[in-house]
Structures are given as structure tokens and as C-alpha cells.
């Protein structure tokens, strides 16, 4: 029996979106559940080969799966990097940024 992969991917994309939204809502009230939702979304993305949407990707801690919001993360500009520190596990995410002069 043939699989309808397009349909699978469409459904999965929606599921990931739903899960991440739920994770975002549950950061404050129950952080454990929020982490569980993120890990479920990651599993789905891995299995059906779908990218996690760009707006969410930088807001997930790769180490502990927590969804980074205002309460559980610190954002600073350091050494030409946007530095995000996850306050649950201490993991540091660095996203470099450059001005026009620096790029040369």
C-alpha cells in the first residue's frame, strides 16, 4: 500500500505548529509540559523530515528543549553576537551579527 507522503507532511506541519504554540503558552505555568511539547514537535520533524519554522527555531534550547521566553532566558549583545542564555540549563546560544564594515 502506497503512502501519501504529501498529506503526511501537511498534517505534520500543522501538528508541529500546534505543539509549538502550546509550548509557548505553557512556559510560565508548567515548564515541564512545555518541554515535552517541544520534544514531541522535534520528534515529528525528525521523522517526517520537516524543518521547524524559522520563527521558532531560534527560540528553542537545543540542550534541554525548553521554549525560550522572557522569563526563562536572557538576551544580550556581546562581541558582535546576540547571546541568549537559557536559564533552566545554562546553555548559551550565540547568533553572530555584522555591520557593513565588519563583513570585509
Partner 1 sequence: MITTRIKPEYIVAHEVIGLDVEVVESPNKYTKGIRGKVVDETQNTIVVKTEKGEKRIQKRNNVFLFKFHGTPVRVKGDLIAFRPDDRVKKGLQMLKRWKR
**Who's near 40: CB < 8 A, 6+ residues apart?**
19
* Binds partner 1 by CB under 8 A, chosen from 14, 28, 75, 87: 14
Which residue lies nearer to partner 1 by CB, 10 or 80? Answer: 10
Q: What is the DSSP string of 59-100?
A: TB-TTT-PBP-SSSEEEEEETTEEEEEETTT--EEEEE---T
- Among residues 32, 34, 31, 38, the alpha carbon closest in space to that of 15 is found at 38
Stretch of residues binding partner 1 (CB under 8 A), selected from 7-15, 55-63, 72-80, 93-101 = 7-15
Instruction: Determine, following the binding rule CB under 8 A, whether residue 3 of this chain makes contact with partner 1.
Output: yes
Footprint of partner 1 (CB under 8 A)? 1, 3-4, 7-8, 10-12, 14-15, 17-19, 22, 33, 36-37, 40, 43-44, 47-48
Amino acid at each position: 500500500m502506497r503512502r501519501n507522503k504529501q498529506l503526511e507532511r501537511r498534517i505534520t506541519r500543522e501538528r508541529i505548529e500546534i505543539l509549538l504554540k502550546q509550548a509557548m503558552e505553557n512556559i510560565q505555568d508548567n515548564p515541564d509540559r512545555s518541554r515535552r511539547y517541544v520534544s514531541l514537535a522535534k520528534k515529528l520533524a525528525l521523522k517526517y523530515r520537516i524543518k521547524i519554522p524559522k520563527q521558532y527555531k531560534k527560540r528553542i534550547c537545543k540542550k534541554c528543549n525548553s521554549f525560550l521566553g522572557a522569563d526563562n532566558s536572557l538576551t544580550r549583545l556581546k562581541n558582535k553576537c546576540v547571546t541568549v542564555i537559557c536559564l533552566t540549563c545554562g546553555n548559551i546560544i550565540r547568533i553572530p551579527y555584522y555591520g557593513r564594515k565588519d563583513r570585509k
